[in-house]
Every structure is written in structure tokens, then in C-alpha cells.
Amino acid sequence: MKIKTAQFIISAAGPEQYPVDGLPEFALAARSNVGKSSLINKMTLRKNLAHTSSRPGKTQLLNYYKITNERAELYFVDFPGYGYAKVSHKQREEWGKHAEFYLLNREPLTKVLLVVDVRHRPTADDCAMYEWLYYHNIPRCIVATKADKISKSKWQHHLKQMRSTLNCDSHDRIILFSSELGLGRDQLWEELHGSI
């Protein structure tokens, strides 16, 4: 997939700062340190478009990235990492309210990409996020990152474990992804374009 332009637009603190052009938006939700920034950079073929925070859990804003490729123009909306232990309960509550408002009320939201590290069994936070999306009937796709960190022979075992632990709906797609290998990039672009 050829990328024409990819740029950071805004770190939005609330609805008044969301873009108003109505382009499709794909939200990326994940725990800290599962490779969201690397995924955005690999999808856009830009090495430093999304920066990894030196302090996980620091970002409280929704980071908007506008991407134009051969077939569409859209936004990636990078959510703050959830489940970071060193963040205060009050901060987590505030993030939750902001994220919930966006997910329930944002019309251009097309799909949520739930990003999970394939090496490990999904956490209670991952399961809670999936259950919440399922309960509210929000379109979703699970992206299983860091596939290059485990042997190819174990991929199916880990994917099966992920599907079982999250208690996925049979229609939910899980895409195996590696920002190092480029694995899953084409499949994920097809998933996004098919959702628009």
C-alpha cells in the first residue's frame, strides 16, 4: 500500500479539538508498551511519525494522525495506554471518561483496533476493554503485535489463546502483526479499507 501523506494533526484534549472534516477514524486502544507507535509507523511507512513516550502512561490526549493512501483518506486516533500502574486512580478515571465519550459519541469512528502483545495472555484490562467494546456493539479488530518475538511454529497457539482469553465473538478478526517483519500490514490495510 503506497502512502501519499502521513502527518500528525493534533493531540486533542476534548471534543472541541477533534477534526471536523468527517473523515473515517480508526482508534487504537492498548496497554502501554505493546507496540502501538511502531504499528502506526509501519502502517504509514514513516519511521518517526508516532513517538514512543519515555514515560508510559504519560499521554492523556487523543493523538490524531491523518493518512492519505492510494484508496482512502483517514485518521488513526491513538488512545492513551490503559492499565498503567503508576498513574493515579483519578487520572485513570479522567482518561476513561474522555475515551468513553469519544467511543460512544464520535460519528466518524469507524472501527477500534484493540492492540495486544501476542507473546502474552491478554490481561484483565485487555479483556475489560474487549468486553466493553462488545457490549456497546462498537466495530473492532484485534491486532496481535510483536509476532517476530516468538517462533512461527507458536503463532497459532498464541492466537488461539488470545481468542479464548478475550472470549472473542466468532466474527471478530485477529490480525497477526510485526512492525519488524512488516507481517500483517497488507491485511490490516484491507481490513481498514473494507470498513469504510
Contacts by 164-173, CB closer than 8 A, 24 or more apart:
165/121, 165/122, 165/126, 165/127, 166/116, 166/122, 166/126, 166/127, 166/130, 166/142, 167/127, 167/130, 167/131, 168/130, 168/142, 169/134, 172/140, 172/141, 172/142, 173/141, 173/142
Tell me the per-residue pLDDT of 115-164, one tens digit each, with 9 for 90 and over.
Answer: 999 999 999 999 999 999 999 999 999 999 999 999 999 999 999 999 99
Tell me the per-residue pLDDT of 51-93, one tens digit each, with 9 for 90 and over.
Answer: 865 555 555 689 999 999 999 999 999 988 775 545 566 666 6
Mean pLDDT over 102-113 rounds to 96
Under 8 Å CB-to-CB from 194, ≥6 apart: which residues? none
Domain ranges in the chain are: 3-184
- Single-letter residue type at 69: N
Q: What fold is seen in the domain 3-184?
A: Rossmann fold (3.40.50)
Query: Which pLDDT band holds residue 187 (cuts at 50, 70, 90)?
Result: very high
Report the share of the chain in percent with pLDDT over 90. 77
Q: Which stretch of DSSP H or E encloses residue 29?
A: strand 25-30
Task: List the grid coordinates of 92.
Answer: 485513570
